[in-house]
Amino acid sequence: MGSVPDNIGSWQPAALALLRPLFKFLWRMEVSGLENVPLAGPAVLCPNHLAAIDSFILPAVLPRGIHYVGKAEYLDDWKTSKLFPALGMIPIDRRGGNHAKAALDAAREVLNRGGLFGIYPEGTRSRSGNLHKGHTGAARLAIETGAPIIPVGMIGTVDIQPPDKTVPNFFRTVTINIGEPIDTSRYRSRVGDRAVYREVIDEVMFEIQALCGQPYEHTYAGAKPVPNQPEGPTVTSTPTQPAPVSVIALNERKSSSDVLGSRPLVGIG
């Protein structure tokens, strides 16, 4: 098993002591469901993702520290190469497969130690404003470690920091709705079952949509139209309540196998 480097999260306690009162001064923070975050023991937090500041807003309202994944490209910038890991970011190579193995192993260790781990199931920020189809990495990590998944709906962060805006807007309202934990322990005997991973993450996205109210778009965030194909209208909807694994039609499972074969298992922002 991999390990979490000593420098990951080393500044987080001091940073949170500073950020919590500062953020409460700069923005109106409306939080519901905070009691759903366990004060001890592992959990995977899965928020929607609209703005870069999401990764600072959520930790600032939690009762305990959290590790999360972030794109390895942050390590190429001198401004963030030391800061972000010290604040709790585990860098991940978004090419997936063996490239992401070290980050995945570190995430498992965080959970096996009883820590909180944050991951964006959409894989990247939504530029359309819609909630996108979830990648299955969060489900895989939760099932392998027995940790519950806690869906989170964040509202208003894009008003604080619109796309490509470096300096945030101050004195805006942000709402953080934390949902009830989704128990994954019943699937411990199904580790490696990609259909189960898809079933669980679909349930997570259903809950996130209910918490944030974003229209649901059944495509992956950042996905590009197939070349030489007409670009049809975007279809938005509410994600369908997942059916029990035993009654999911096999032809509905095909996409999860395709995705797992070519996409990173961990969503990052």
Among positive and negative, which fits the CA dihedral 69, 74, 80, 86?
Answer: positive
Please state whether the predicted TM-score (pTM) of the whole model is above 0.85: no
| Strand, coil or helix: 44 | strand
pLDDT of residue 11: 85
Which domains, ranges and CATH numbers included, belong to the chain?
Answer: 26-220+236-262 (3.40.1130.10)
- For 195-226, the pLDDT digits (tens) are 999 999 999 999 999 999 999 999 999 876 55
Task: Mention every residue, 6+ apart, whose C-beta is less than 8 A from residue 9.
Answer: 65, 67, 85, 86, 87, 88
Task: Mention every residue, 6+ apart, whose C-beta is less than 8 A from residue 106.
Answer: 2, 3, 4, 5, 8, 67, 90
pLDDT of residue 88: 79
Phi, psi of 24 (to 5 degrees): -65, -25
Residue 265 has pLDDT above 50, yes or no: no
Residue 269 has pLDDT above 60, yes or no: no
pLDDT of residue 252: 36
90: β partners? 69
Identify which of 96, 94, 67 has the alpha carbon closest to the alpha carbon of residue 4. Answer: 67
152: β partners? 47, 178
Question: For the stretch 174-201, what's the b/e string if a residue is b when 16 or more beta carbons lie within 10 angstroms of its beta carbon?
Answer: bbbbbbebbebeebeebeeebbbbbbbb
pLDDT of residue 237: 58
32: β partners? 177
What is the average pLDDT score of the chain?
A: 81
- For 102-153, the pLDDT digits (tens) are 777 888 989 999 999 999 999 889 999 999 999 999 999 999 999 999 999 9
CA dist 148 and 131 (Å) reads 22
pLDDT of residue 245: 37
Cβ–Cβ < 8 Å for 46, 150: yes
Cβ–Cβ < 8 Å for 237, 38: no
| Strand, coil or helix: 123 | coil
pLDDT of residue 69: 78
Q: Residue 74 has which token pair?
A: 């942050």
pLDDT of residue 218: 93
